[in-house]
């Protein structure tokens, strides 16, 4: 049976993983008959956001691995425990956690870097030439991992320009579309960068999941 790793970045769109994107990913994988395992880095979140008010809760601290366990129903492993030989592909849902916890793109823009633990995790799949799928804002990490990475974050020209500035090749795409980088075996979709509702997000996510599965050797 094919096995896919899913990298989470916490729980909640404003400071972690976009919950709908993660759940839709896991649902699509289950429907496709694919085994999956969630992972997350054991690091502190950049900050905690009150999702009711949208305000930063300065007196709170949360751990990315612990928060990711909320989405994974406890079935999540520390990113440092990855055994690349046990997985055929990787999918990274979005949410601001990808830009705040997995990387510091939210604060550093084109001068961003990826958390060392996360970078090691992501490079394992690149070095093994295994298919990967990134959605929402998560593709902004791709130019730091893959040479001339081709991908999309949707239709925002400013963010697309930054993607190119970082060494990638951005392609505009609608919420229901995917962009495929055949050379690097990378699939991307805008998801909630553009989605107005969960049904719109699901269409692109399902396509991404199915394409990643199809690209497995």
Q: Round the average pLDDT of the chain to a whole number and report it.
A: 97
Q: How much is the pLDDT for 195?
A: 97
Q: How much is the pLDDT for 48?
A: 94
Helices 19-31 and 198-214 pack at an angle, to 10 degrees, of: 50
Reported as a pLDDT band with limits 50, 70 and 90, residue 98 is: very high
* CATH number for position 57: 3.40.50.880
CA neighbor of 211 nearest in space, from 169, 173, 167: 173
Q: What are the catalytic residues?
A: 136
Q: How much is the pLDDT for 177?
A: 97
Q: How much is the pLDDT for 73?
A: 96
- Domain with 106, as residue range(s), is 3-214
State how far the Cα of 209 lies from the Cα of 201, in Å rounded to an integer: 12
pLDDT digits (tens, 9 = 90+) for 13-44: 999 999 999 999 999 999 999 999 999 999 99
- Percentage of residues of the chain with pLDDT beyond 70: 100
pTM above 0.95, yes or no: yes
pLDDT digits (tens, 9 = 90+) for 128-149: 999 999 999 999 999 999 989 9
User: How many domains does the chain contain in total?
Assistant: 1
| Torsion, CA 100, CA 144, CA 117, CA 128, rounded to 10 | 140
pLDDT digits (tens, 9 = 90+) for 175-209: 999 999 999 999 999 999 999 999 999 999 999 99
């Amino acid at each position: 049976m094919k096995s896919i790793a899913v990298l989470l970045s916490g729980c909640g769109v404003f400071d972690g993983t976009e919950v709908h994107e993660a759940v839709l990913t896991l649902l699509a994988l289950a429907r496709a008959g694919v085994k999956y395992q969630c992972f997350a880095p054991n690091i502190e979140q950049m900050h905690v956001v009150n999702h009711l008010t949208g305000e930063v809760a300065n007196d709170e601290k949360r751990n990315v691995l612990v928060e990711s366990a909320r989405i994974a129903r406890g079935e999540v492993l520390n990113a440092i425990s990855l055994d690349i030989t046990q997985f055929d592909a990787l999918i990274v849902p979005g949410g601001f956690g990808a830009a705040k916890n997995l990387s510091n793109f939210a604060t550093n823009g084109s001068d961003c870097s990826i958390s060392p633990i996360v970078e090691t995790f992501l490079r394992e799949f690149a070095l093994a030439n295994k298919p990967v799928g990134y959605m929402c804002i998560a593709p902004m990490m791709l130019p730091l991992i893959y040479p001339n990475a081709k991908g999309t974050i949707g239709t925002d020209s400013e963010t697309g320009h930054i993607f190119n500035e970082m060494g990638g090749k951005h392609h505009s795409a609608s919420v229901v579309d995917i962009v495929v980088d055949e050379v690097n075996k990378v699939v991307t979709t805008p998801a909630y960068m553009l989605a107005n509702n969960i049904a719109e997000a699901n269409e692109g996510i399902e396509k991404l999941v199915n394409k990643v599965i199809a690209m497995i050797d």
